[in-house]
Structure 1
Amino acid sequence: MAEDPLLQPYQLKHLTLRNRVILTAHEPAYPEDGMPKGRYRAYHVERARGGVALTMTAGSAAVSRDSPPVFNNILAWQDEVVKWTRELTDAVHEAGAAVMIQLTHLGRRTRWDKADWLPVVSPSHRRESAHRSFPKKMEDWDIARIITDYGDAAERMQAGGMDGIELQAYGHLMDQFWSPLTNELDGPYGGSLDNRLRFTFDVLTEIRKRVGPDFIVGIRYTGDEMLEGGIGREDGIAISQRLKDSGQVDFLNVVRGHIDTDPGLTDLIPIQGMPSAPHLDFAGAIRKATGFPTFHAARIPDLATARHAIAAGLLDMVGMTRAHIADPHLLNKLIEGREDDIRPCVGANYCLDRIYQGGLAHCLHNAATGREETMPQVIEPAQRQRKVVIVGTGPAGLEAARVAAERGHQVTVFEAADRPGGQIRLTAQSQRRREMIGIIDWRMGQCEKRGVTFRFNTWAEAETVLAEAPDVVIVATGGLPHTEVLSAGNDLVVSAWDIISGDVRPGSNVLVYDDAGDHA
């Protein structure tokens, strides 16, 4: 373990990070009244206890009143945030990790009819496809005011005990200035690359004036928009070099792509069925060109990929954010030599999808994520052993079996089919969603380690279950497809299950009726 590249400490300015793995900035939408209260704090503290070196809060915290969050973000423009930030940072530090926060002004990436109904501002009138508000083209006083807001927010975060801040510049106001596609201002903030970067350096100057030279300040930015007429690869390298040479930035956190459309967002934050670590080599090129501390995250779901990123010198710190949503104790398990116990992220992106639908981020694979105040991530043994019988080996049955076995109970599971998986096994037949089977494989592995008895090809009749003399019976057989959808002709109706499983072959004249609009 002492030689593992991922477990080597890293010195970032005065801050010693205990290993090379970070949670990059992301917003699980847990704030209450715009503040990082109990749920938010518990979420980050759990990951700190799990061994991560640095957890980056917010994705992103709003610095101005006219940057209303489109989902539930931290309001860094309110003085009240200092109290809650201090409680969070103290708790994370006590657990051994560093903690920072990402600050932003959304620019056009919001709506006029949120919060105070203030005009959306941007360096051009061009609206964003995702949020659709036509922005007001910024004037001198807008720019000056927002620069001051950044400085105010940075001061609040320093007062709240943060180890540093990170500015967001992909899809938000800062890089709306950078990109020719979204900057139609005349000089001094429009035109040449140096003019388009002027707003960023004015913000950095104001922040340094407020927090001093020692406070850590980084920037997470797109080094290549991958859009015709936008910021290209060479522009990204030039921007990276200017950021380094400014002396005002302590680390670069590189992404690649754009987020103003759903396809663009998916390329930047890849999901299952897409290649792992698609932008890792690009981030490595930025590090090579600048020789500057470089961070990166984009579908780096496993330790082998993360280890390669560090060992090959592509990155200084590697982001495994969704991997820690799935398993907050990923690093502890590595340190303890229990890599096989790590719950794998299957890339379902349920966490992100829920946010964009206006909900809290939860994990398809880990029910305790976001519920740390009421549901333990680390299961304690029960005081009294019981005999537990479970019916069904879909995800619910296997999770019940895993948790019961971890608590020390004697567990027997009945399953009518010859293999575990339930509906997961059906969906994993799709090439794009084949990683979903990891939900089943991991639970089966955990159950087998703990001596769970499985009886496949067995109907759980009452007498069969009672013969086990159980203390507890859990029925986890799920539901059945609803096929009684016609007033006449229901004998012709078969379910998606029947077709996907191969139990029924369709005829030559088929009507597909979908009343759910989901993955089936």
Structure 2
Amino acid sequence: MPSNDPLLSPFDLKHLRLKNRVVSTSHEPAYAENGMPKDRYLRYHLEKAKGGLALTMMGGAACVSPESPAFVNNIALYRDEVVPYLTKIGDAVHEHGALIMCQVTHAGRRTSNYEGDWLPVVSASGDREPQHRAFPKVAEDWDIDRILTAYADAAERCQAGGMDGIELMAYSHLLDQFFSPALNHRDDEWGGDFEGRLRFPLEVVRAIRARVGEDFVIGLRMGVDDERAGGNAVDEGIEAVRRLSAEGIDFLSVIKGNLDSDNTMAKIIAPMGTPAAVHLDFAGRVKHELDIPVMHAGRIADLATARYAISEGLLDMVGMTRAHMADPYLMQRVHDGEEDRIRPCVGAGYCIDRLYQGGEALCLHNPATGREAQLPHIVPPAAEKKKAVVVGAGPAGLEAARVLGERGHTVTVLEAASTPGGQIAIAAAPERRRDLIGIVDWRVQECARLGVTIRYNTYAEAADILAENPDVVIVATGGIPNTEIVDGPANLITDTWQILTREVKPGKSVLVFDDNGDHPGMSAAEVIADAGAEVEVVTPERIIAPLVGGSNYPAYLKNFAEHSVRTTLNTRVTKVARDADRRLTVTLEDEYAHTTVTRTVDQLVVEHGTVPVDDVYFELKDRSRNHGAVDQDALLRLQPQTLVANEDSTFQLFRVGDAVTSRNIHAAILDSNRLCMAI
């Protein structure tokens, strides 16, 4: 039956029929193997096709030429062997009624001189890109001729591989580097005025269209306003799109801004604490100026915003890319009237941050994304029903309870606090990071749907747990702040939890010692700076917060600059003492020269991860059937745990998350998911 939901209305894109208006736009998960999109890549896109979206777009920087090497494990479209892999992915996606396209690009200067074949990277001019730090060669005539052919060859490979179309990347990559007057300083026929700067993008489109014919969709993802000083403004960008569409561009994916630095990237791929859909009105303005279909993606993570974008005519297709990483079955939930079950994207930026730290894209709280070969998105029922007790309602405990409930087990959660969340509730206390609580809220809601019992204000001891007569006990009691790395009385040290929860008020002058390098220390420093204190952040690392990725650290550094926060690298806090006037004397030691200095402050805040709260685990260990042991081979194969150390025991015992050791949210959730998936 036809639906009144604007998101479920079909849309015709040239000769293609999209079954709804929702798209997972081109992005790079870094799942390729030696440049080829093999099984992991296929499974990732297949799951979204199963989940009901209209179009999934792969190859978030699939490269056309070897001097545009993989900078985040990209697909190598310049090799003929890619075609069978594209065919396999396309066939799998089409089987579930979805369409698939591949982004085609030359990164130009936006890559490294020290990857792949170590060929010199090329660009319109010789400007260094801040993010990837490459000094490019100025493209010569023979470079341009060769790259034009490479674009056409890559498009032909995509067509031969059964793709429904391609998308040309024209923001911050080579096409943009020629078109933007901020980046193109040439005085030949490939630069200068508007006509000269647009010549290279026009020739690329012409070369591709001549190769693939008219019955193949070519899209363009472009920074219509590149927001560079001296760059192309919106009117010039719109005129460029008109000219390009006349040569064969069939749709536009609107971008506002550029990717030249982490700071500008964080404005496009925006994390939590920023407005939702901040460029949606801009995209709508561009659409009303053009005669081709327009899509846009940019922190559109909720269905209300997506519906508004379509119903108000701001977009023809709406990109919900990170939302699909959180829940690839998003559109199936919409179709089935189960929107309240959608796992929310909380905007943590963990997916994009991992790429820029050399890893693959992972969702902070969906461990199955990118691991489809190992972990199912849909939890299967267990053959035998058991009774399980989970101790702790933090992320690890709630995930254990959720998965066990989905498996059909009877689950009771015992939580010492009056509310759920554990360390997530602490991390979400500051206003800018409050969306993290969505990780907790969704799991609590799912547990309620599954009949999981959660008992709050219950400090569980061994006798309380055994009284439940469990078959399985999961200890997810988390950890407590570890401040013992500093020599001095404990009452002189404040931990980051006390700051984030406002249990302790910041002093007038505060030294934050961050020996973790992740969000807690930075978030605490931000809260203290916002309170008006004089702040110094000290770390033994050579950079501030190395575990905080490129989309997240700009917000911290902006705050630090606004509040004149001092940062001291390569230095440890070794000692703290109370001085005669009741202030604190803090001793700092250089990591390399081992020289020492002192600071006099009102408060010392220490962040050094957590130590496990594991008393109840060790009380139960010898009484359990497995003595707490985990068969790691079985764990990784998603097979049941069968180790037996105590034949007389009737229950298995496991611990997960920070009850094992200090780690991040994703690790805690992954622990519970893969363990409980086989119980």
Which interval holds the TM-score relative to the shorter structure?
A: over 0.9
Task: Say whether the 8 Å CA contact 1:63–1:75 is kept in structure 2.
Answer: yes
Aligned to 2:68: 67
Query: Against the structure 1 CA distance between its residues 383 and 245, is the aligned structure 2 distance closer, same or farther, given a 3 Å change threshold?
Result: same
Alignment of 1:471-486 (within 5 A): 471-486=471-486
Task: Report deviation, 1:291.
Answer: 2.6
For residue 167 of structure 2, give the secondary structure of its aligned residue in structure 1.
strand
For residue 511 of structure 1, give the secondary structure of its aligned residue in structure 2.
strand
Task: Say whether the 8 Å CA contact 2:205–2:244 is kept in structure 1.
Answer: no
Aligned to 1:442: 442
CA offsets 1:36-94 (integer angstroms, 9 cap, x no match):
10111000000000001000001110000100121110000011101111111111111
Task: Report deviation, 1:261.
Answer: 1.0
Task: Report deviation, 1:380.
Answer: 1.6
Task: Report deviation, 1:479.
Answer: 2.0
CA offsets 1:418-467 (integer angstroms, 9 cap, x no match):
10000111111111101000000111111111111111111111110011
2-side partners of 1:151 and 1:450: how far apart? 53
Structure with larger RCO (C-alpha < 8 A, sep 6+):
1
For residue 57 of structure 2, give the secondary structure of its aligned residue in structure 1.
strand
Query: Against the structure 1 CA distance between its residues 122 and 417, is the aligned structure 2 distance closer, same or farther, given a 3 Å change threshold?
Result: same
Aligned to 2:137: 136
1:272 aligns with 2:272: yes
Aligned to 1:431: 431
Task: Report deviation, 1:495.
Answer: 1.6
Alignment of 1:303-322 (within 5 A): 303-322=303-322
1:181 aligns with 2:194: no
Task: Report deviation, 1:243.
Answer: 2.1
Task: Report deviation, 1:516.
Answer: 1.4
1-side partners of 2:82 and 2:69: how far apart? 15
Q: Which structure has the highest strand share of the two? A: 2
**Structure 2 counterpart of 1:308, one-letter code:** Y
CA offsets 1:206-265 (integer angstroms, 9 cap, x no match):
11121111111111111001122101111112112212233x111111110011011110
**Structure 2 counterpart of 1:87, one-letter code:** K
CA offsets 1:105-149 (integer angstroms, 9 cap, x no match):
010111111111111111111111111221111110000000000
Task: Report deviation, 1:506.
Answer: 5.5
Task: Say whether the 8 Å CA contact 1:123–1:184 is kept in structure 2.
Answer: yes
Give the total of aligned pairs: 519
1-side partners of 2:62 and 2:246: how far apart? 26
**Structure 2 counterpart of 1:479, one-letter code:** G
Alignment of 1:294-373 (within 5 A): 294-373=294-373
**Structure 2 counterpart of 1:85, one-letter code:** L
Aligned to 1:156: 157
1:21 aligns with 2:28: no
For structure 2, list consecutive stretches of 5 or more residues without a partner in the other structure: 521-679
For residue 223 of structure 1, give the secondary structure of its aligned residue in structure 2.
strand
Task: Say whether the 8 Å CA contact 2:168–2:221 is kept in structure 1.
Answer: yes
Aligned to 1:109: 110
For residue 218 of structure 1, give the secondary structure of its aligned residue in structure 2.
strand
**Structure 2 counterpart of 1:28, one-letter code:** P
Query: Against the structure 1 CA distance between its residues 391 and 117, is the aligned structure 2 distance closer, same or farther, given a 3 Å change threshold?
Result: same
For residue 371 of structure 1, give the secondary structure of its aligned residue in structure 2.
coil
Task: Say whether the 8 Å CA contact 2:430–2:500 is kept in structure 1.
Answer: no
TM-score, normalised relative to structure 1: 0.98
Deviating more after overlay: 154-163 vs 475-484: 475-484
Aligned to 2:254: 254
For residue 354 of structure 2, give the secondary structure of its aligned residue in structure 1.
helix
Task: Say whether the 8 Å CA contact 2:26–2:102 is kept in structure 1.
Answer: yes
CA offsets 1:282-330 (integer angstroms, 9 cap, x no match):
1111110113100110000011000001000111110000000000000
For residue 185 of structure 2, give the secondary structure of its aligned residue in structure 1.
coil
TM-score, normalised relative to structure 2: 0.75
Aligned to 2:413: 413
1:236 aligns with 2:237: yes
**Structure 2 counterpart of 1:344, one-letter code:** P
Task: Report deviation, 1:478.
Answer: 1.7
1:518 aligns with 2:512: no
Task: Report deviation, 1:101.
Answer: 0.1
For residue 206 of structure 2, give the secondary structure of its aligned residue in structure 1.
helix
2-side partners of 1:392 and 1:313: how far apart? 47
Aligned to 1:374: 374
Aligned to 2:82: 81
**Structure 2 counterpart of 1:416, one-letter code:** A
Task: Say whether the 8 Å CA contact 2:51–2:329 is kept in structure 1.
Answer: yes
2-side partners of 1:291 and 1:480: how far apart? 58
Task: Say whether the 8 Å CA contact 2:26–2:59 is kept in structure 1.
Answer: yes
Task: Report deviation, 1:406.
Answer: 1.2
Aligned to 2:453: 453
2-side partners of 1:92 and 1:386: how far apart? 37
**Structure 2 counterpart of 1:423, one-letter code:** Q
Query: Against the structure 1 CA distance between its residues 185 and 508, is the aligned structure 2 distance closer, same or farther, given a 3 Å change threshold?
Result: closer
1-side partners of 2:486 and 2:100: how far apart? 57
1-side partners of 2:275 and 2:497: how far apart? 28
1-side partners of 2:334 and 2:89: how far apart? 26
1-side partners of 2:503 and 2:245: how far apart? 61
Aligned to 2:600: none
2-side partners of 1:148 and 1:274: how far apart? 41
Task: Say whether the 8 Å CA contact 1:244–1:290 is kept in structure 2.
Answer: no
**Bigger Cα Rg:** 2
Aligned to 1:194: 195
Aligned to 2:209: 208
Deviating more after overlay: 320-329 vs 452-461: 452-461
Task: Report deviation, 1:512.
Answer: 2.0
For structure 1, list consecutive stretches of 5 or more residues without a partner in the other structure: none
2-side partners of 1:235 and 1:329: how far apart? 39
Task: Say whether the 8 Å CA contact 2:37–2:75 is kept in structure 1.
Answer: yes
**Structure 1 counterpart of 2:462, one-letter code:** A
1-side partners of 2:406 and 2:450: how far apart? 7
1:54 aligns with 2:49: no
Aligned to 2:663: none
Query: Against the structure 1 CA distance between its residues 105 and 490, is the aligned structure 2 distance closer, same or farther, given a 3 Å change threshold?
Result: same
For residue 92 of structure 2, give the secondary structure of its aligned residue in structure 1.
helix
**Structure 1 counterpart of 2:359, one-letter code:** G
Aligned to 2:469: 469
**Structure 2 counterpart of 1:137, one-letter code:** V
For residue 480 of structure 2, give the secondary structure of its aligned residue in structure 1.
coil
Task: Say whether the 8 Å CA contact 2:323–2:345 is kept in structure 1.
Answer: yes
Aligned to 1:225: 226
1-side partners of 2:156 and 2:348: how far apart? 37
2-side partners of 1:198 and 1:510: how far apart? 56
Task: Say whether the 8 Å CA contact 1:240–1:286 is kept in structure 2.
Answer: no
Task: Report deviation, 1:507.
Answer: 5.6
Task: Report deviation, 1:511.
Answer: 3.1
Task: Report deviation, 1:188.
Answer: 1.6
Task: Report deviation, 1:510.
Answer: 4.2
Aligned to 2:98: 97
